[in-house]
Structure 1
Amino acid sequence: MTYHERSACPLCAGTPSAEKKRIIEKDGQSYAIETCERCSFVYNSNCLPDTAVAAAQTPPPPRPRHYQIDYLLRTRLAQKPNPLVVEIGCGYGDVGLLVSQWGQFIGFEPSDTLCAVAASRGLDARREFFAASALPRPADAIILDNVLEHVHDPGGVFATAAGALAKDGVLLVIVPNVYDIRRLDKTWRERHLWALPEHLNYFSTSTLKMLFERHGLTFNHFGLEVLRSKADVRFFPRAVCETFGVSLFGHNVFGVKREVR
């Protein structure tokens, strides 16, 4: 495997803090987890290029968050005729199957296996990295579900997505939380938070908000807006915390584009 050095913060090009640097060893490889002095973004400075976990050919059952994404976008875009929804890193196409019932869906997925499964389910799934030029028109919504933690240039990917949105378009982002309360358990922290070498970037609420505001988007947690029915009652405590801007677990956020840049 070829590792790449990121000498500057991938969000703001700031300098890493020498005092906050930590070295994590895994499987004979050393990883340097840096914290930017300027924006406090946490990232792995000696890392692989864009990463993705190997996938099985048989898709697992849809996750609760897939239904929440669908519900949030369906209600937000209800007044738009045949809205265009784009997913960058569409995986098996679970969200696409839901969205295609009420809108136009285009998925981008560089993994051969995942893209083939999504396409076999009747979706417009493209085995390529996302580019705004590939869209027939500006998107009404773009989804980045567990993508930004895996890419070498998270700021660039975010900027490309934001730039492809129509006015009042929705950009939805789900990423792990560097301050997830479960990090207090060492086993969970190493397996699910640092998750080396797959995870390259670690987001806090403040660094996510900085990204959204930089590109002219509002910043909102999912909160109570995604609770669809009594079946979602188990997510109520989390939704209440998010309503007050507190992310105890992963970040589930979205923004609305107020101006076209």
Structure 2
Amino acid sequence: MALEFDGSAFHGWQQQDNAVSVQASLQEALAEIEGKPVSTVAAGRTDSGVHAEALLVHADVSAERWQRSHLAYIHGVNSKLPDTVRVVGVRAVNSDFHARFDCRERAYRYQIWNRNTPSAIYRWRHWWMPRPLDVDAMCEAALCCLGTHDFSTLRASGCQAAHAIRTISRINVKRSDGVITIEVAADAFLYHMVRNLVGNLVDVGLGRQSPEGFARLLDQKDRSKAAATAPAHGLYFVDAVYDGFSSRELIGNS
């Protein structure tokens, strides 16, 4: 399933005992359709406040019901979900498919509202940054991240990954009117890696750090010397790539 959700309504993807999560909401909806408990696995976990346009999730469901009408897993499930989360595409996969371990690439987008006044409409969709940002300098700094590196500088203290080596295949910083978007794709991400990256790129855009200084920070592999973490509400999970398809390609094509 490709899942779209408004992260401001949830305490992240992962099911929790005392908080509303996307996973719990989806599993409750699937259980109503299936008539029994259903477990789900996502391509990646999202923090509280982070949004998604196409988070890939897998679940074992009834083959008979799927063959009778796979739309039960779009319209039927959506009818059981809160308005803040929607299944936007589905497809059948092999029984050994795994949304997390089979994922070859994940992509995120971060949005910055770069105007001198905040937005009344998009206040939980962007990080408001009233001071002008130098997008060219941010682009130059971002390119330092391309390829395979030890990203300890962008790794949050609570990260449980075995190592900090990751491969960033695409990164792009662009402005459209007053909105700056940062798009990044990698084989995998460390805990808070994208938000820490954005915090440092904003420091460059504000002139607090040069692109060369940011490159040196990456080489030092020391999170304590880097900029603060960008807020969660500007971040979107936008794609998960697998052999033969991606989560974004499922939107509207089921």
TM-score, with length taken from structure 1: 0.25
Q: Which has the larger radius of gyration?
A: 2
Whose relative contact order is higher, 1 or 2, with alpha carbons under 8 Å and at least 6 apart?
A: 2
TM-score, with length taken from structure 2: 0.25
